Structure 1
Amino acid sequence: MVSIKDDFRVAAIQTVSSTQLAQNLDQASLLIQQAVDGGAQLIVLPEYFCLMGNKDRDKLAIRETLGHGPIQEFLCAQALLHGIWLVGGTLPLDCGEPDRIYNTTLVYDPSGLRIARYDKIHLFGYKKGAESYDESVSIRPGENSPQTFTAPCGSVGLSICYDLRFPEFFRALGQVNLMVVPAAFTYTTGSAHWDVLLRARAIENQCYVLAAAQGGKHENGRRTWGHSVLIDPWGDVVDSIAEGSGIAMGDINLQHLHDVRESLPALKHRTM
Structure 2
Amino acid sequence: MKVAAIQMVSTPDPVHNAERARYWLHEAAAQGVQLAALPEYFCLMGQQDSDKLAIAETAADTTAPLQRMLSETAAALGLWLIGGTLPLRAATPERVRNATCVYAPDGHLAARYDKIHLFRFDNGRESYDEARVLEAGEQPCTFVAPISATAEHAAFDLKVGLSVCYDLRFPELYRAMSFSGDQVPCDLFAVPAAFTYTTGQAHWELLLRARAIENQAFVIAPAQGGLHQNGRRTWGHSMIVDPWGDVLACLPEGEGLAVATLDMARLRAVRQQLPALQHRRL
Instruction: Tell me if both proteins adopt one fold, taking TM over 0.5 as the criterion.
Output: yes
Q: Which residue of 2 aligns with 1:166?
A: 170
Q: Provide the C-alpha distance between the structure 1 equivalents of 2:199 and 2:30, rounded to a whole number of angstroms.
A: 33
Paired AA for residue 123 in structure 1: L
Match of 2:239 among 229, 232, 246: 229
TM-score normalized with structure 2 length: 0.93
State whether structure 2 residue 144 is matched by structure 1 residue 150.
Answer: yes
User: Which range is displaced more, 213-222 or 149-158?
Assistant: 149-158
Identity rate of aligned residues, in percent? 55
Question: Unpaired segments of 5 or more residues in structure 2?
Answer: 148-156, 179-184
TM-score normalized with structure 1 length: 0.96
Residues 19-61 of structure 1: CA deviation (Å, up to 9, x unaligned): 0011000110111111111111100000000000000000100
State whether structure 2 residue 4 is matched by structure 1 residue 11.
Answer: yes
Q: Which residue of 1 aligns with 2:195?
A: 185
- Partner of 1:256, secondary structure, is helix
- Offset at 1:188? 0.2
Equivalent residues in 2 for 1:118-137 (5 A)?
A: 118-137=113-132
Q: Which residue of 2 aligns with 1:4?
A: none
State whether structure 2 residue 94 is matched by structure 1 residue 99.
Answer: yes
Paired AA for residue 141 in structure 2: Q
- Partner of 2:262, secondary structure, is strand
Q: Which residue of 2 aligns with 1:5?
A: none
Paired AA for residue 142 in structure 1: G
Paired AA for residue 48 in structure 1: Y
- Offset at 1:160? 0.4
- Partner of 2:222, secondary structure, is strand
Paired AA for residue 161 in structure 2: G
Paired AA for residue 146 in structure 1: P
Residues 170-205 of structure 1: CA deviation (Å, up to 9, x unaligned): 100111100000000000000000000000000000
Question: How many residues are matched?
Answer: 264
Q: Provide the C-alpha distance between the structure 2 equivalents of 1:128 and 1:55, rounded to a whole number of angstroms.
A: 19
Paired AA for residue 249 in structure 2: D
Q: Provide the C-alpha distance between the structure 2 equivalents of 1:216 and 1:109, rounded to a whole number of angstroms.
A: 29
Paired AA for residue 216 in structure 2: Q
Equivalent residues in 2 for 1:66-105 (5 A)?
A: 66-68=59-61, 69-105=64-100
Q: Which residue of 2 aligns with 1:256?
A: 266
Q: Which residue of 1 aligns with 2:150?
A: none
- Offset at 1:269? 0.8
State whether structure 2 residue 225 is matched by structure 1 residue 215.
Answer: yes
Match of 1:117 among 102, 106, 112: 112
Runs of 4+ in 1 over 4 A off after TM superposition: none
- Partner of 1:80, secondary structure, is helix
Q: Provide the C-alpha distance between the structure 2 equivalents of 1:269 and 1:178, rounded to a whole number of angstroms.
A: 20
- Offset at 1:129? 1.3
Q: Provide the C-alpha distance between the structure 2 equivalents of 1:19 and 1:97, rounded to a whole number of angstroms.
A: 24
Q: Provide the C-alpha distance between the structure 2 equivalents of 1:28 and 1:57, rounded to a whole number of angstroms.
A: 22
- Offset at 1:96? 2.2
